[in-house]
Amino acid sequence: MSDRSSSPDDRQPAGSRSAHYPQTVAVQPDLNIPPNFGSFSPATHRGSTVVFNTLAELRAYGDPSKTYWRYGLHATPTSEALCQQLAQLEGGKHTLLFPSGMAAISLVDFSLLKSGDDVLIPDNVYGPNRDHADWLARDYGVSVRYYHPMIGAGIAALIQPNTKLIWLESPGSVTMEVPDVEAIVAAARARNVITAIDNTWSGGLYFQPFDKGIDISVQALTKYQSGGSDVLMGATIVRDTKLYERLRRTRMVMGWGVSADDCFLVLRGLQSMPVRLAAHDRAAREVAEWLLQRPEVTRVLHPALPQCPGHAEWRRDFTGATGLFSILLHDRYSRKQVDDFVEALKLFAIGWSWGGAHSLAVPYHVPTMRAPGTWPPAGWEHAGELVRLYIGLEDTRDLIADLRQAMDATLG
C-alpha cells in the first residue's frame, strides 16, 4: 500500500517489497516521499476505497470512535476540512456536503418528511425548492403549503399536528422580503416543529441562524463560498447532534457524495469570502442608492433600504448585506421593454447562479410566481416588472454607467 511504503519509517531499497514485475510496480510502487511539505493549501485526498490496517479496524465500521474513515463517498480529510470550517463560520457544529445546493434542500425534505406529513414553505422560496416540494406533494403524498413571507407570528395558526418542517429563506429569492425569523421560530418551537433556513444570501456570515434557534441551515456553496462561478456544491449545517445523525443517515442511503477537488476549490474560496462579501455589500448599496434616484425605478428591493419589506427585521438580524437585490421598473414599461433593457446591458451578463466576480441581471414576471393576487403588494404605486441584479466585483462607476446607458437606450 503506497500509504505505508511512503512512511519514513519504512524506507527500503526500491523493489525490496513483493513487487517483482512491472505491472505490480505500476500499482504498488515503493515510494519514498519526504514528509512535512509545508503548504498553506489543504491536501486533496481523493479516494473511494479507504484502506484499513487490520480486519478489526474494518469490522469496527459504524463506530467512528474506532474507525473514522470508512469510504470515500461519506468523507475524506479534504471534505472534513470544509465541513469543519463551514460549521465554524456559521456557528454550527456539524456539516454535510452535497453536489449542489438543491441536493442539500432535497436531503432536508427526504430526511424529515414522509407521506402524510405537512411542510410550510415561504411563497418567495428559491424556485427549484418550490418545484421539489410540489413534486413531493404530487408523487409522495406530502402536504405542502405556502405561507406569505411576512406572516411573522401569524404562522402559528397554520401549524397542524402533522406539520413536521417549516422552511424559511432570508431574504427570500427574487422579491427579497426579510421574514420575521424570531416570530416564526418561536411559533415552531412552541409546537416542536423543525425549522430549516436557506441562508445562501448571507453566505452564513451576516446571519447566524443557530443563535436565532433555527435547527438547520442550508447553503448553496455554489454561490459566495466558491466565489468563482465554476463549482456546484451545497451544505446542510446543524448544531444538534441527533438531528445531524438523522440527516447523515439519509445522505448515506441516498448515496450523496462530493469530489475532493471541488472541496478544495471551495476551501480556497472561503479564504477570501469575508473580504469579497464586504466588497459586494459596499458596491451593491452604492448601485442601489443610485437606482433609488432614477425615475424609471419605482422600488429598490434591497434589504438595507427602508422600502424593502422586512428592512426592520434585516436591521435586527443581520450584520451586513451582500451583492444581490432587485428593482421594480415603472409599470409604463412593457415586458418587452424590460427585456430589451436587460439585453442592452454590456457589463451585466444574463445568467443564473450569482456569487462570483461577474455582475448579472435577470428579469422576472413575479405575479405568476406567487399565490394569485398577492403581487404586487397593495399600495405599491406603478410596480411593474422586476429585474434582479447581482453586483459583482467590477468598479461601481462602470456598472452605474452601464445601467444608465441601457436605461437611456431602452426605457425612454
Ligand X SMILES: *Cc1c(COP(=O)(O)O)cnc(C)c1O
Residues in contact with ligand X by CB under 6 A are 100-102, 126, 173, 198, 200, 220, 222-223, 232, 234, 353
Nearer to ligand X, 273 or 406 (CB): 273
Contact of 132 with 254, CB cutoff 8 Å: no
What is the nearest approach in angstroms of ligand X to the Cβ of residue 378? Answer: 27
Residue whose C-alpha is closest to residue 130's, from 374, 387, 375, 369: 369
Q: Which residue is nearest to ligand X (CB)?
A: 101
Give SS3 for 144.
strand
Please identify, using beta-carbon distances, which residue of 175 and 222 lies nearer to ligand X: 222
- Nearest-5° Cα angle at 101, 171 to 288: 35
CA angle 82, 88, 93 (to 5 degrees): 90
What kind and span of H or E run contains 386? strand 383-390
In angstroms, rounded to a whole number, what is the distance separating the alpha carbons of residues 314 and 312?
5
In whole angstroms, how close is the CB of 104 to ligand X at the nearest point?
Answer: 8
C-beta of 247 vs 407, nearer to ligand X? 247
* Residue 170 C-beta: closest distance to ligand X, Å: 10
Q: In the complex, what is the shortest distance from the CB of residue 234 to ligand X, in angstroms, rounded to a whole number?
A: 5
Q: CA 252 to CA 72: how far, in whole Å?
A: 11
Q: Given the complex with ligand X, which of 181 and 406 has the nearer CB atom?
A: 181
Query: Which amino acid is present at 408?
Result: D
| Shortest Cβ 242–ligand X spacing (Å) | 25
- Closest approach of Cβ 201 to ligand X, in Å? 6
Neighbour-count burial of 1, counting CB atoms closer than 10 A to its CB (0-12 exposed, 13-18 middle, 19+ buried): exposed
Q: List strands edge to edge, sheet with 297-301.
A: 297-301, 324-330, 383-390, 360-364
User: Shortest approach of ligand X to residue 353 CB, angstroms?
Assistant: 6
CA distance 118 to 150: 20
**Residue closer to ligand X (CB basis): 120 or 407:** 120
Q: Which residue has the cell 433593457?
A: 341
CA distances from 232 to 48, 90, 172, 200 (A): 20, 20, 21, 13
For ligand X, the closer CB: 101 or 227: 101
**Which residue number, 165 or 407, has a Cβ lying nearer to ligand X?**
165
